[in-house]
Structure 1
Amino acid sequence: MTTLLDYCSLIRSKNAGPFTLTFDFMCHDQTAYDALVATGFLNKELFATLYGTTPDQILLVHHPLALAVKVSLPRPAAQGGPHDTDCYAGQQYAPLMDMEIAQT
């Protein structure tokens, strides 16, 4: 089974302000970056499904010089609000960790 950890040396989620989540996927090397991007795994539809939004509200940016992919989207609940279960958004990446990635 191939997962994000096979491609990335750092995977994190965090706040990008009180209303936005951001995810960073930093790859081991150029080969891992190229392979991860080629899978198409990190896409707007995946994040829309997992985080209850629509693809048009998601910003997905490839940073080839940094060997990284960044994804930003609206937080499900405002930071510190009564329905916020992860004030710093540091655990929001967890649902992605065990997902199998089809290799191309």
Structure 2
Amino acid sequence: MSKINITELTTVIRSKNAGPYELTFDLIFKTEEIFNYVVENKFITEELIAKLYGIDVEKVISVVPYSPSKAIKATIVRPIAAGDVGETDVYGAQQHGPLLNIEIPWER
């Protein structure tokens, strides 16, 4: 089975601030069929998010599919609180990069 990059299956991949101590990520899929395939096969998991961000799985707060918008939302603990010394992205809008490396098994 070959693999396809997540960017081929989604219309939006973004990150954003979810308060001073959390970041949230959205993967919005092109079609309901693609969304269902990814969700049913559990390709996006807490373990995957932890690996991509180099954090312990306990720091992944949730990975939740939301079918009305064909999206998966993942939330993690921020490595540095928003606005704290050393923090470089108070809005969390530039943290989605690691998600772009997701490869999904694909035969379609």
The CA RMSD over aligned residues, in Å, is 1.8
Percent of residue pairs bearing the same amino acid type: 35
Select the structure that is richer in strand. 2
* TM-score, length of structure 2 as denominator length: 0.82
Structure 1 residue corresponding to 2:91, chosen from 88, 92, 96: 88
Structure 1 unaligned segments of length 5 or more: list them.
none
Task: Give every structure 1 segment of 4 or more consecutive aligned residues whose post-TM-superposition deviation is greater than 3 Å.
Answer: none
Q: Does 1:10 align with 2:36?
A: no
Structure 2 unaligned segments of length 5 or more: list them.
none
**Stretch moving more, 67-76 or 31-40:** 31-40
Aligned 8 A contact 1:7 1:36 in 2: no
Provide, for residues 1-38 of structure 1, a one-character-per-residue CA deviation record: whole Å limited to 9, x for no partner: 51112221111100000110000111111111112224
| Count of residues in correspondence between the two structures | 104
* TM-score, length of structure 1 as denominator length: 0.85
